[in-house]
Amino acid sequence: MTAKIIAVTQQKGGVGKSTIAMHLGAALHEKEKKVLVVDADGQNTLIHWSSTTCEEVGIPFSIVNLAEAGGEIHKEIKKFVNDYDLIIIDCPPSITEQISGIVLLVASIAIIPISSSPADYWSSIGLMKLIQQAQIINEDLKAVFLLNKTEEKRMLTRELKRSLKKLSFPLLKTRISTRECYKQAMALGKTVLQMTDRSSKLASAEIRACTNEILMLLK
Ligand SMILES: Nc1ncnc2c1ncn2[C@@H]1O[C@H](COP(=O)(O)OP(=O)(O)O)[C@@H](O)[C@H]1O
Ligand SMILES: [Mg+2]
């Protein structure tokens, strides 16, 4: 078993990297994949999230903290590749950190969350250049944008989609809508896939669809 590596990366904070990394992990686990989620961001959102124990059900898959690994992160990741089908890496919100660059050298795909804010678009330009540099060495590296927190500001989303066409990487068909349940899930130490209210069910459907799209790209 040699794990495929999925990097969830973006220069900006607050775009949903951690939320998407955790939910991709949950949807892959549900598909009976052996999945490891790596917290590579010093803010350690995923470590805090998974150690929140409000209820009996917690995060049902492995999460490891490699935020301190710095320029050695590829060596730490290598220790896990034989034990998992997929390794998802929640990257730090910076392209100047060594971790962000190195992860792109070992990843099969980079998922770039983006919302409708122009700032997200601008920060994607620098990241796109970093990914293109990585692709010189890691020729198999794919990259895709994932629209997160849509719904609000529909006009802007349309504008953003037009702008994204100018960038080199495609946009996943599935969009992740803004829903309170993502915040609730984080506060409860679980994912929306484990919640049964209507909003969580709609959110789960989006997460599953997005995961399927990514799996197709990894084939
Ligand atoms: N689709 C969404 N709908 C509602 N809230 C979201 C959504 N995606 C992320 N959030 C919230 O936005 C905040 C930032 O998300 P997070 O995943 O921590 O971003 P990042 O890791 O990029 O800094 C969190 O409070 C999270 O719950
Ligand atoms: Mg984060």
Query: How do residues 46-93 score in pLDDT, each as one tens digit?
Result: 999 999 876 667 899 999 999 999 999 999 999 999 999 999 999 999
Q: What is the pLDDT at residue 54?
A: 64
The count of domains in the chain is 1
42 lines ligand 1 (CB under 6 A): no
Quote the ligand 2 centre to 20 CA distance (angstroms).
Answer: 9
Quote the ligand 2 centre to 18 CA distance (angstroms).
Answer: 4
149 lines ligand 1 (CB under 6 A): yes
Residue 25: partners with Cβ closer than 8 Å, 6 or more residues away: 35, 37, 59, 61, 63, 88, 191
Ligand nearest to the CA of 186: 1
Closest atom of ligand 1 relative to the 20 alpha carbon = 17
Task: Using the predicted structure, report yes or no on whether residue 170 has a pLDDT greater than 90.
Answer: yes
Instruction: Catalogue the E-assigned strands of 12-152.
Output: 35-39, 62-65, 86-90, 109-114, 142-147
Q: What is the mean pLDDT of residues 173-192?
A: 95
Quote the ligand 1 centre to 2 CA distance (angstroms).
Answer: 30
The enclosing domain of 154 has a CATH number of 3.40.50.300
Q: What is the pLDDT at residue 57?
A: 76
Ligand nearest to the CA of 120: 1
Quote the ligand 1 centre to 148 CA distance (angstroms).
Answer: 9
Q: Which of 170, 180, 177, 171 is nearest to 206 (CA)?
A: 177
SS3 content of the chain, % helix, strand, coil (to 5): 45, 15, 40
Give the span between the Cα atoms of 113 and 138, in whole angstroms: 21
Q: What is the mean pLDDT of the chain?
A: 93
User: Residue 8: in which H helix or E strand, if any?
Assistant: strand 4-8
Longest dimension (CA), the chain: 47
Task: Using the predicted structure, report yes or no on whether residue 219 has a pLDDT greater than 80.
Answer: yes
Please indicate, yes or no, whether the overall pTM of this predicted structure exceeds 0.75.
Answer: yes
Closest residue by Cα to atom 27, ligand 1, is 183
Domain containing 188 equals 4-218
Give the span between the Cα atoms of 113 and 149, in whole angstroms: 9
Give the span between the Cα atoms of 63 and 97, in whole angstroms: 21
Q: What is the mean pLDDT of residues 171-179?
A: 94
92 lines ligand 1 (CB under 6 A): no
